[in-house]
Structure 1
Amino acid sequence: MKKIVLTGGSSGIGKIINLFLLEKGYEVLFTYWRSEDSAREIECKFPNAKAFQIDFTSEGQMTAFLNEIETFDPHILINNYYSGTFIDTYFHKTEAEKILDDFKNNVMPALQVTQKCISVFRKKKLGRIINILSSSMLSPAIGASVYNSNKAYLLQMSKSWALENVKFGITCNSVSPSFISTDFHKDMDERMKEMIVSGYPLKEKLEGGDVAAIVELCINGGQHFNGNHLFVDASHY
């Protein structure tokens, strides 16, 4: 199994996972939206990398990407893409439109891409689905209700994916890292970041490479390694 579809692979933790897998020799079709320089740099460095620019809110671009997946014929899907903010505001101050928009922009694309990949996997009776979630679902930060609820939705959905598809040689596992300081958290107060790290059992930041190693475990864990939700947090929670 060498061909991977990775959503959100040009920045943040997605980029780290992408580079890790490319260096291992996997062929990766990864998406990006605004990080074009980074995406092109990855393509130039790795002949086994293929970037696909997409605005997941565009119906036409989504259709084109689903067709690209069909042509690419992958063995593995990594749902990593998330557009929005981690910390926003209190739930009671969050407008209903914001909740709905974040669901449409983040959860629905993951569902559509997963449906397409499952149809591809079932034909070959082999596949791996890996969802990158967050350990913040266990210990929510104030203002992260929309982000956490979207991740939790995918976690519950992944349990169905694991059960419905295992007899076709398809597994589904989810990986929830502890806090990793990336561009996604650029709007967080530095004092909050320091507080998070100080409360971490290892007293040092989790690195993206640690998460990438767990992703590879999900790829190579075999058919019985299915339906797991793995926390990469040094037993923090």
Structure 2
Amino acid sequence: MQVKDSVVVVTGGGQGLGRAMAIELASQGAKLALLDLNEEKLQETVDLVKEAGSEARYYLVNVSEEAAVETAFEKIVQDFGALDVLVNNAGITRDGLLVKAKNGEVTGKMSLSNWQQVMDVNLTGVFLCGREAAAQMIKLGSKGVIINISSISRAGNMGQTNYAAAKAGVVAMTVTWAKELSRYGIRTGAVAPGFIATDMVAAMPEEVLAKITAGVPLKRLGEPGEIAHTVRYIMENDYFSGSVVECNGALRI
């Protein structure tokens, strides 16, 4: 698929990886539809896309709400007249141990609320946006691409029962959709980043960042643009489907 003139939806497009993806694809001529809940951040990304030489619109959407997602994708097609790519990037963390104990006494547990919030956004949100993107692509006869952002944590990571389970599920959906949607000419792919230098990561205490960086064989954090480049590769390679690209500096959890 050519990036130029393609209509690309990026969820979580207000900041971080979503913003980096939007700017990278805009620099190659893609038109961006950006979904997020922070209007100020979304407008900043729209302005950056325009600086990169392309056009963008934003949509305030909670990706875990079915009606809102259905309405948003219908509006995107109305506004752009096309839908070529979805990047399912929106995600949250609510980290914590499954059970905390001291001297044989349980002192805490991961709450059902923290489990459910992560599942709602990171798994159900991917499902809903993927479903609606596929439906619109089929209606339009678009040989599109759905790209899901997973994580190195999909293999399991201490303190991330909810996040790891959701990100593993994202890859499973990617493989399933590749098999189901290929008959319509729709490809899928996933990217599993390691530790990336987003604003959220940069806000960590220095000693924590130093420990994380020391554990990466390449001895640095990944750059958001490197993940954006991987997304672009999946778009452009017409024989790529149903697989996950690891981009983690050789780190293994």
2:145 and 2:235 in contact (8 A); partners too: yes
Deviation track 1:140-178 (CA, whole Å, cap 9, x = no partner) reads 1x2111111111111111111011111221111100111
Pair 1:78 & 2:87 matched = yes
Hey, what's the Cα distance between the residues in 2 that align with 1:199 and 1:221?
32
Q: How has the CA–CA distance of structure 1 residues 189 and 139 changed in structure 2, closer, same or farther, with 3 Å as cutoff? A: farther
Is the contact between residue 187 and residue 240 of structure 2 (CA under 8 Å) also seen in structure 1?
A: yes
* Residue of 143, 147, 168 corresponding to 1:130: 147
The one of 38, 41, 48 equivalent to 2:41 is: 38
CA–CA distance in structure 1, aligned partners of residues 156 and 131 of structure 2? 30
Larger radius of gyration: 2
**Structure 1 runs not aligned, ≥5 long:** none
Map Cα deviations across residues 109-142 of structure 1 (whole Å, 9 max, x no partner): 22111111111222315010111111122361x2
- Distance in 2 (CA, whole Å) between partners of 1:138 and 1:152 is 7
Q: What whole-Å deviation, never above 9, does each CA across 1:16-42 have from its counterpart, x for those lacking one?
A: 1111111111001011212x3332133
Structure 1 residue aligned with 2:190: 174
Question: TM-score, structure 1 length as denominator?
Answer: 0.89
Distance 1:56 1:118, change over 3 A: closer
Alignment equivalent of 1:7, drawn from 4, 7, 11 = 11
Give the C-alpha shift of residue 63 in structure 1: 3.9
The verdict on how the C-alpha distance between 1:122 and 1:51 changes in structure 2, with shifts beyond 3 A counting, is same
Q: For 2:172, what is the secondary structure of its paired residue? A: helix
Q: Which residue of 2 aligns with 1:202?
A: 218
Give the alignment's Cα RMSD to 1 decimal: 2.0
Identity %: 25
**For the structure 1 residues 61 and 188, does the alpha-carbon distance in structure 2 shift closer, same or farther, using more than 3 Å as the test?**
same
1:101 matched to which residue of 2? 117
User: 2:233 corresponds to which residue?
Assistant: 217
Q: Deviations over 1:73-125 (max 9, x none)?
A: 3110100001343xx21012112232123212332222111111111222315
Aligned residues: 232
Which of 64, 84, 90 is the equivalent residue of 2:97?
Answer: 90
5+ residue gaps, structure 2, are 100-108
Matched with 2:56 is 49
| TM-score of the two chains, using structure 2 as the length reference | 0.84
Distance 1:126 1:56 in 2: 23
Which residue number corresponds to residue 104 of structure 2?
none
SS class of match (1:78):
strand
Change (3 A) 1:57 1:114: closer
Q: What amino acid maps onto 1:43 in structure 2?
A: V
Q: Counterpart of 1:201 in 2: which secondary structure?
A: coil
Paired residue secondary structure (1:231): strand
Match of 1:24 in 2: 28
Contact 1:69 1:116 survives alignment (8 Å) = no
